[in-house]
Structure 1
Amino acid sequence: MGTCLAGMAPAETLTDALVSAYNNSDLLEQSRAVLRAADEDVAGAVAALRPTLDYQVQETYGYTDNPSLGRTRDTFSTSLDLVSELALFTGGRNRLAIDAAKESVLAAREGLVVQEQTVLFNAVDAYMTVYAAVETVELRRNSVRVLNEEVRAARDRFDVGEVTRTDVAQAEARLAQAEADLVAAEGDLETARELYNLEVGRYPGVLAAPPPLPEAAPTETAARDVALRSHPRILQAQRLVTVNEINVTSAEAAVLPTLSAQASVGYSNADDTFGTTDFDSGASVGLTLRGPIYQGGALNSLFRRAKAQRDNTRAQLLRTTAEISELVGRSWAVRDVARARLVATDRQIEAAQIAFDGTREEATLGARTTLDVLDAEQDLLDAQASRIDASAQEQRAVYGLLASMGRLTVDYLGLPVTAYDPSAYYNAVSTAPAIGSEQGIQLDRVLKSLGRQ
């Protein structure tokens, strides 16, 4: 806890926390890995359009027992073949697989933006939780110092007969409560520091006051329009609908025949125990046309399943759109409430301060009791604590509104980070480069920059 309150190092800002969270987030690394896996699906679909080349080596032993001759013939044969195959026609399924894989990549990219928003908002929440906890601890410590003075004053006045033992006990009881509140506040701060370490990637130092709030939208309608047009969850759902529509077309084309070409070249030799050696070499080229006649209803089942999945993603898109619209409205209301509460707590502190000063002055004249002074002081303390919480809630509400609009990103906030480029890996692998090719070398560089080689 001490490292958060003491030291001469420059204060950490909210921007520093957001940058650290972005650079250190394991959740973002996880989503980036999911995206790279989706990129590889495109490479796999592209590779299906290309010819394949395989080798086959076979060593065979055989023997023949001829009872009439009373001899056994042992034969050893070796064969080596190169086999190539190319799909010439698949009813468009290979091309459709590429289209579906590309749409899945775009959906995964939107999923990465969703995760980015979550990471940044969690960092804001952790920052404000620690900042508010530090201010609360200071407030509680100041309250303990003031109440210690109140207890000493009450005891002095009791010694000269100005107050009763009850007044002293009331002051002592309020001091004990303040000390308990201080311990609780210090515990909340330790908890907040652990949350900060989880979300930001390190423990906090001295935190600076939050910067001016970022711009969101002038009206609730404008905020909703932005969200419905560009929120990554909606864009991701739209991409998934497209993927499943392509899958329906692909399942429908499964009844079409496939045409493939094969070519092979090879040689074989055989030796036997009689000293005979046979050597053969050959090559062949062929075409194969194959199509389903009866599959036990499996193709129809797969087609119906694809349509059901398409309908599911369409319904999910509608639901996601409704949820985002509701989230914007709720976030806007939360932001308005937080602002109104902040204004109200400022007025509450002003009034409570006047009441406390007047009550304390009246108590010196004998018009107020010790309990009246303690109650007025507690009202002021409660108002100040409410102000701390209201300020933190306003920050959370504004950044939450940005997240609901889909704008809580490093680009929109202008954070000084090297943003992850989702297209770099895709461009390196989308053509399924071979090892040693120019694109393969480029892929090696990308992997090295990602620390994945």
Structure 2
Amino acid sequence: MRKIRLWAVATCSALAVMASSAAQAETLADALISAYRSSNLLEQNRALLRATDEDVAVAVAALRPVVQFVAQSTYSFQRVHSDASLISGVQVPATRTNVENLNSSVGLTASMTLYDFGRNALAVEAAKETVLATREALVQVEQNVLLDAVNAYVQVQLAQSIVNLRRNNLGLIDQELQAAQDRFDVGEVTRTDVSQAQAALAASRSDLTSAEGDLVVAREAYKAAVGHYPVDLAPRPAAPRTAATVEAARQVALRAHPQVRQAQRQVAAADLNVARAKAAMRPSISAEANVGLDDEGQESASVGLSLRHTLYAGGELSALYRQTLANRDAQKANLLQTGVNVAQNVGIAWSTVEVASAAIAAGDEEVRAARTAFEGVREEATLGARTTLDVLNAEQDLLNAQADRLTAEAQRYVGMYQVLASMGLLTVEHLNLGIPTYDPAAYYNAVKNAPATSSQGKRLDRVLKSIGRN
């Protein structure tokens, strides 16, 4: 009875250790979350987006009055000459008189554009479109970061599996060498068989060293992509679902891919810039008000309206208009080409998955046949019907088949995520990782109205603190 209790305690302890180990293993979702949170590339592009948000504030400020405090002081010097003259019969000689003046004043000046045929308002709308385009660029960066993390995770596991294969192969060859040496001692084989086994053992050691080097490289790539070295990676979860057919994937990509959406926003901004350039050829009406006080206590005030219209600027305005037309044409062509590239990438990613799937199916057959052949050749060698070289070759064929099978499986798994990325869906939100994500609208909403007051400034401080930038 005591033995049964001890066995039960030992079993429970072993299960607890296994559960603890499984709980500590890093999953693919953990790696993706870490990559999202630690990516310097994402931080860089978020900062670029915030800088682009400020362009809206700058454009909005042009719709508002500009108030300036002006303090000025002017010193003037004048030397007055008078000719000799005869006044009341008295001769007055020529004289020179120095006249110096120092005038100072302070004042306030306010100016505002009242009407400019929508030029400044169009600048605001163009800046908004640029912000939306930059947001889509940030989504594309997010896709790249997550795809790099998936690839790094899979490559570490693949490299570790190859290392394990090489170690097992080294052990088998060592056994073959020992068997060849034993058969040589009793005169069943020649020194050549022993030498072939020794050469194979040396080659296997070299291959193991190379595989271990590949694992080091994969670990470094993992750290760069995820933010830390891998310790204990959990088995890969099921690959994500994508689309039923390649055409369905293309349709989703042409609607949802961030590069397509970015190009669409860039076309919209280019259209607005054309309208801005056309409005720049028209007049503008502005108002100006001034109040001042000079050093003699004299007060002054003025209010005025002005209409400005450029009649001739050396062709600059026409050149700028033609430039915006050319830029719009370029953005439209870029949108069409982006659609072509996105559709092509979907086809390539889809083909990669299909090829890898076929390679896995063929690899299963190859591994099965290679294992049967190896076992048969090794058995025949014990009967003297096969040489040591035959056994080593059969073992190498089995090793290559197993490595190819593992590689194909890794390629197919990463390929599924590549398909998802080519569709524009490889995001934290779509993967449902369950973590708070960066809100690109938070900073924009805080600055879009060009805040200047203290209350708005405090709100902006709260936004900066929430995104960890303050």
TM-score if structure 1 supplies the norm length? 0.94
Partner in structure 2 of residue 14 of structure 1: 28
Aligned to 1:449: 466
Q: Is the 8 A contact 1:220 1:332 kept in 2?
A: yes
CA contact (8 A) 2:438 2:467 kept: no
Give the letter aligned to residue 187 of structure 1. Answer: G
Q: Tell me the secondary structure at the aligned position of residue 209 of structure 1.
A: coil
User: In structure 2, what residue type is equivalent to 1:41?
Assistant: D
Match of 2:16 in 1: none
SS for the counterpart of 1:279 is coil
1:153-192 aligned at under 5 Å gives the runs 153-192=179-218
What is the CA deviation profile of residues 365-410 of structure 1, one whole-angstrom value per residue up to 9, with x for unaligned ones?
A: 2221111111111111111111221111011110110011001111
CA RMSD, 1 decimal: 1.6
1:57 pairs with 2:83:
no
Q: Of residues 48, 52, 55 in structure 1, which corresponds to 2:62?
A: 48
* Preserved contact between residue 250 and residue 343 of structure 2 (Cα < 8 Å): yes
- Describe the superposition over 1:287-344 as per-residue Cα deviations: whole angstroms up to 9, x where unpaired: 0100011111111111111000000000010001011111111111111111111121
Q: Is the CA contact 2:69–2:106 (under 8 Å) kept in the aligned structure 1?
A: yes
Distance in structure 2 (CA, Å) of the matches to 1:180 and 1:211: 33
Distance (whole Å) between structure 1 residues aligned to residue 391 and residue 427 of structure 2: 49
Write the mapping of 1:377-396 to structure 2, written as runs, cut at 5 A: 377-396=395-414
Consecutive unaligned residues of structure 2, counting only runs of 5 or more, are: 1-19, 83-94
Structure 2 residue identity aligned to 1:450 = I
Separation in structure 2 between the aligned mates of residue 450 and residue 172 of structure 1, nearest angstrom: 61
Give the alignment's TM-score, normalised by structure 2: 0.90
Report the Cα offset of residue 60 of structure 1: 2.8
Q: Equivalent residue of 2:313, what SS?
A: coil
Pair 1:413 & 2:396 matched? no
Alpha-carbon separation, structure 2, partners of 1:349 and 1:131 = 20
Distance 1:168 1:313 in 2: 70
Aligned equivalents of 2:344, 2:380: Cα separation in 1? 53
* Offset at residue 253 of structure 1 (A): 1.2
Asked whether the 8 Å contact 2:57–2:450 carries over to 1, the reply is yes
User: Retained in 1: the 8 A contact 2:250–2:423?
Assistant: yes
Alignment of 1:350 onto 2:373: no
Query: 1:95-150 CA distances to partner (integer Å, 9 max, x unpaired)?
Result: 10011011111101110111111111111111111111111111111111111111
SS at match of 1:88: strand
What secondary structure is seen at the aligned counterpart in 2 of 1:416? Answer: coil
| Partners of 2:460 and 2:153 in 1: CA distance | 38
Aligned-partner residue type, residue 307 of structure 2: L
Corresponding residue of 1:92: 118
Give the residue type in structure 2 aligned to 1:35: L
Distance 2:276 2:100 in 1: 53
Partner Cα separation in structure 1 for residue 297 and residue 282 of structure 2:
42
Q: Which residue of 1 aligns with 2:259?
A: 233
Which range is displaced more, 174-183 or 194-203?
194-203
Match of 1:364 among 382, 386, 390: 382
1:73 to partner: Cα distance: 4.9
Query: Contact between 1:42 and 1:101, CA under 8 Å: does it hold in 2?
Result: yes
Q: Which residues of structure 1 form unaligned runs of 5+?
A: 1-6, 270-277
Q: What code does the residue aligned with 2:458 have? A: I
Residue 307 of structure 2 is matched in structure 1 by 289
8 A Cα contact 1:50 1:86, kept in partner: yes
The amino acid that maps onto 1:247 is N
Q: Distance in 2 between matches of 1:352 and 1:426?
A: 62
Contact 1:19 1:416 in 2 (8 A): no
Match of 2:443 among 422, 425, 439: 425
1:70 positional shift: 6.8
Aligned counterparts of 1:443 and 1:51: Cα–Cα separation in 2: 23
Identity %: 53
Which residue is equivalent to 1:320? 338
Q: CA deviation at 1:247?
A: 0.6
1:56-75 alignment runs, 5 A limit: 56-65=70-79, 72-75=98-101
Opposite residue 156 of structure 2, the aligned amino acid is V
Structure 2 counterpart SS, 1:83 = strand
Work out the CA distance in 1 between the residues paired with 2:278 and 2:243.
46
**How far apart in 2 are the matches of 1:317 and 1:297?**
31
Output the CA distance in 2 between the equivalents of 1:253 and 1:193. Answer: 57
- What is the CA–CA distance in structure 2 between the aligned matches of 1:153 and 1:301, rounded to whole Å? 86
Q: Distance in 1 between matches of 2:356 and 2:79?
A: 96
Q: Work out the CA distance in 1 between the residues paired with 2:111 and 2:226.
A: 52
Quick check: 237-246 or 189-198, which moved more? 189-198
- Number of equivalent positions: 438
Quote how far apart the aligned CAs of 1:237 are.
0.4
Query: How much does 1:221 deviate?
Result: 1.4
Superimposed CA distance per residue, residues 41-89 of structure 1 (whole angstroms, 9 cap, x where no aligned partner) = 1111111111110011112333444577776554333210100011101
Structure ID, larger Rg: 2
| 2:232 maps to 1:206 | yes
Aligned match of 1:122: 148
C-alpha separation in 2, matches of 1:435 and 1:15: 43
> What is the 5 A alignment of 1:247-326?
247-269=273-295, 278-326=296-344
